[in-house]
């Protein structure tokens, strides 16, 4: 599991999208920011919260 310090708001938002997807609702997430802002780490954290095959 990824641990990101200072990103609780972003993780909570991603968790909400994941829960809604599990409940059958569609959605999309856009991660944007400057190089080195942690976009890949945030995506990795979201992916680690899902079951295999849930996220594409």
Following DSSP, what letter does each residue of 1-56 receive, concatenated?
----TT-HHHHHHHHHHHHHHHTT---------STTSSHHHHHHHHHHTS-TTS--
As to burial, measured by CB atoms within 10 angstroms (0-12 exposed, 13-18 middle, 19+ buried), residue 25 is exposed
**Tens of pLDDT along 6-49?**
888 998 999 999 899 889 998 888 999 999 988 999 888 888 88
Looking at residue 48, its pLDDT comes to: 85
The full length of the chain comes to 56
What does the block give as tokens for 51? 């079951």
Looking at residue 32, its pLDDT comes to: 92
Please indicate whether residue 4 or residue 29 has the higher confidence score (pLDDT). Answer: 29
Residue 3 has pLDDT above 80, yes or no: no
């Amino acid at each position: 599991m990824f641990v990101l310090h200072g990103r609780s708001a972003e993780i909570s938002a991603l968790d909400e999208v994941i829960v809604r997807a599990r409940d059958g609702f569609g959605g999309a997430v856009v991660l944007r920011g400057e190089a080195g802002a942690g976009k890949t780490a945030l995506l990795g954290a979201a992916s680690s919260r899902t079951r295999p095959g849930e996220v594409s």
